[in-house]
């Protein structure tokens, strides 16, 4: 079960996140990124965060620790922003917290180097969970102390939005051409050989047990939260076994603008390219466009 903490202070909203997550302090003296049950994206986003985040952790991928976070909306009373006030008011009770990585910066494929093995593990994992939200436009990876950390697994497991069609939906291939790590030569075969045997029914049962009952109750077509938990196990188990045969990686799209300042990227990342491409060099490479 995830550790439970209670929010003690709302620090600031993270405006780059579509669901308006907030930086929040808690009674264990930790600082967390809080994802709110009252956000428009709905509670299934939080279910996906827990299942995929905990699965990633169990497979040895780097993801900040997840916690259950109790919120009394009263902590936001002095918050001047009405949108934040309303979000907090709609989110009393249990929410999701993710350990805040201070000083981390967003991953930039033009500034950082990721080896084929690590790229393969991440692309394979994203294929299993059907993550459509790790493109160069929105990498949802952070660089912290020189390592890549995965965040934001809310837009995964599309089949949980339509359970009657889940089996057919989960059988579909995964197009990784738009993946932020597509250009790093991901070694998917090795990743599958290493990680697929670890994704057992037992492991998935443990991972789904971490989802709070409150976010699973009253799902149409299921008479108990445990029945719904079992429904999450099946597609992930099936995909882990064979998805490596159905990952397409055609011409990777990586011409996104570099967002990190070069001096910072080069200092923070030991594996960063020693000579970072300047905007001018990139433009020459792209044919002066």
Residue window 146-185: x/- pattern of binding to Mg ion, with contact defined by CB under 5 A? ------x---------------------------------
Q: What are the residues whose beta carbons fall under 8 Å from the beta carbon of 138, sequence distance 6 or more? A: none
Give the C-alpha separation, 146 to 258, whole Å: 18
Stretch that binds Mg ion, among 90-98, 106-114, 134-142, 221-229 (CB under 5 A): 134-142
Judge contact between 176 and 243, C-beta under 8 A.
no
Chosen from ligand ATP, Mg ion, none, partner binding at 16 (C-beta under 5 to 8 Å by type): ligand ATP
Indicate the residue among 134 and 276 with the shorter CB distance to Mg ion.
Answer: 134
Sign of CA dihedral 63, 64, 66, 69: negative
Chosen from ligand ATP, Mg ion, none, partner binding at 79 (C-beta under 5 to 8 Å by type): none
> Is 219 among the residues that bind ligand ATP (CB under 6 A)?
no
Give the closest residue to 28 by CA, choosing from 2, 62, 56, 63.
2
For residue 210 the two structure tokens come to 């971490």
Give the C-alpha separation, 169 to 106, whole Å: 31
Judge contact between 101 and 30, C-beta under 8 A.
no
Judge contact between 11 and 88, C-beta under 8 A.
no
Give the C-alpha separation, 239 to 20, whole Å: 31
Indicate the residue among 45 and 140 with the shorter CB distance to Mg ion.
Answer: 140
Residue window 9-48: x/- pattern of binding to ligand ATP, with contact defined by CB under 6 A? -----x-xxxx-x-----------x---------------
Query: Least CB distance from residue 217 to Mg ion, whole Å?
Result: 27
Residue with tokens 């932020």: 180
Identify residues 95-154 at the interface with ligand ATP (CB under 6 A).
98-101, 104, 106, 138, 140, 142, 151-152, 154
Query: Least CB distance from residue 205 to ligand ATP, whole Å?
Result: 26
For residue 185 the two structure tokens come to 């030569």
Query: Least CB distance from residue 4 to Mg ion, whole Å?
Result: 24
Q: Which residues bind ligand ATP (CB under 6 A)?
A: 14, 16-19, 21, 33, 64, 98-101, 104, 106, 138, 140, 142, 151-152, 154
Q: Which residues bind Mg ion (CB under 5 A)?
A: 140, 152
């Amino acid at each position: 079960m995830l550790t439970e903490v209670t929010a003690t202070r709302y620090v600031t909203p993270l405006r780059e996140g579509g669901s308006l997550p907030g930086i929040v302090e808690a009674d264990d003296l930790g600082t967390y990124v809080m994802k709110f049950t009252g956000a428009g994206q709905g509670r299934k986003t939080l279910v996906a965060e827990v299942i995929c985040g905990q699965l990633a952790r169990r497979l040895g991928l780097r993801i900040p620790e997840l916690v259950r976070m109790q919120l009394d909306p009263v902590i936001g009373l002095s918050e001047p922003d009405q949108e934040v006030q309303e979000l907090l008011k709609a989110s009393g009770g249990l929410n999701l917290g993710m350990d805040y990585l201070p000083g981390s910066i967003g991953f930039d494929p033009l500034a950082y180097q990721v080896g084929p093995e690590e790229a393969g593990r991440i692309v394979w994992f994203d294929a299993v969970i059907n993550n459509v939200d790790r493109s160069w436009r929105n990498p949802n990876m952070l660089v912290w102390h020189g390592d890549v950390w995965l965040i934001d697994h809310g837009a995964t497991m599309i089949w949980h939005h339509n359970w009657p069609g889940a089996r057919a939906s989960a059988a579909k291939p995964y197009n990784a051409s738009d993946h932020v790590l597509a250009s790093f030569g991901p070694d998917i075969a090795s990743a599958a050989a290493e990680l697929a045997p670890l994704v057992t029914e037992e492991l998935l049962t443990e991972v789904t047990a971490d989802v709070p009952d409150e976010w699973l109750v009253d799902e149409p077509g299921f008479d108990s939260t445990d029945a719904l938990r079992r429904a999450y196990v099946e597609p992930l188990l099936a995909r882990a076994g064979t998805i490596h045969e159905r990952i397409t990686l055609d011409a990777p799209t990586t011409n996104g603008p570099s967002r990190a300042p070069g001096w910072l990227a080069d200092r923070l990342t030991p594996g960063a390219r020693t000579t970072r491409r300047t905007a001018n060099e990139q433009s020459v490479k792209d044919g002066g466009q």
